[in-house]
Structure 1
Amino acid sequence: MNFQRPRPEEPEINLIPLIDVLLVILIFLMITTTYSKYTELKINLPTANAPKAEHYPHEIVVAVSSDGTYAVNRHVLPSRSVADLASSLTQAAKGNANTMVVISADAQSTQQSVINVMEAARVAGLSQLTFATQRSPGS
């Protein structure tokens, strides 16, 4: 007769099903995760509260209206093409490569209109560009 108590078996944790479940959860999370890109940048724009810039003797003022019409030194151009704008800038520069091109664009003008002025200045061989601004109302 054996009167000893049977030893209880030590409980075993079977890790294989746990690993299987975790692997399935990991795959599910990887598939359903969306990778989004940031669409906005946090930048600090410069203010236009600087003192009035000095007047350059050789400068061309190109005005861009809200409807995309260009005016070079207060002469309205009949065409809106880059080639016509470049030829007008070349005539206004009179062969001086150090001529400053001042772009005075309306706040409602399209970016493409301003880019066209920059491209026309590049075609005309004018590399010095600046933008005209106005003082903010608070200053």
Structure 2
Amino acid sequence: MNFQKKQKEDFDLNLTPLIDVVFLLLIFFMVTTTFDKETQLKIELPQAAGAQKQVKKMLEISIDAKGRFFVNQHEVVNSGLETIKKAIKQAAGDNKKPSLLISADGQATHQSVITILDAASQLGFVNITFAANEPQPKK
């Protein structure tokens, strides 16, 4: 009897799919993990022992959708540059170069804002701020 030895097949275990699954799990856990963010440093500030800080008077100039001007909630009769300058100067009073807040309606023309900026620059205002609404978060 002639028995032949069966050749043993080399058994290879393919690890590629296993490695792919491990990497996918790793990526999944990395993406879904939430981390705590430090929003601010926790420090103790020293107490001030000086005089109280004086609150600066801020002039507010509003422009509505129709192009009407309001200086500190009082409507300016004419929208001319000289009239606006007089109204701003009168509202400022003795205050040397107060801060200026411009709040224009979203439908107001750009020219009306430029007119206010021209009047403010001719009067020597350098601290000018624009008011804006914070956008609502999308739901």
- Report if the CA contact (8 A) 2:97-2:124 is conserved: no
* Deviation (angstroms), 1:66: 1.2
- Report if the CA contact (8 A) 2:92-2:98 is conserved: yes
Give matches, 1:37-116, under 5 Å.
Answer: 56-116=55-115
Q: Distance in 1 between matches of 2:124 and 2:83?
A: 14
Q: Distance in 2 between matches of 1:64 and 1:90?
A: 17
The percentage of aligned residue pairs carrying the same residue is: 29
- Report if the CA contact (8 A) 1:87-1:124 is conserved: no
Q: Given the two structures, how large is their TM-score scaled by the length of structure 2?
A: 0.57
In structure 2, the gaps of 5 or more residues are 1-54
Q: Given the two structures, how large is their TM-score scaled by the length of structure 1?
A: 0.57
- Give the length in aligned residue pairs: 84
- Report if the CA contact (8 A) 2:60-2:103 is conserved: yes
- Tell me the amino acid that sits aligned with residue 119 of structure 1: D
- Report if the CA contact (8 A) 2:85-2:119 is conserved: yes
- Aligned residue in 2 for 1:39: none
Matched residue SS, 2:137: coil
- Report if the CA contact (8 A) 2:59-2:98 is conserved: yes
Q: Distance in 1 between matches of 2:97 and 2:135?
A: 30
* Deviation (angstroms), 1:124: 2.0
Q: CA RMSD in A?
A: 1.4
In structure 1, the gaps of 5 or more residues are 1-55
- Aligned residue in 2 for 1:131: 130
* Deviation (angstroms), 1:58: 1.3
1:74-94 CA deviation, whole Å, 9 max, x = no partner? 001110011111111111111
* Deviation (angstroms), 1:67: 1.4
* Deviation (angstroms), 1:57: 2.5
- Report if the CA contact (8 A) 1:65-1:106 is conserved: yes
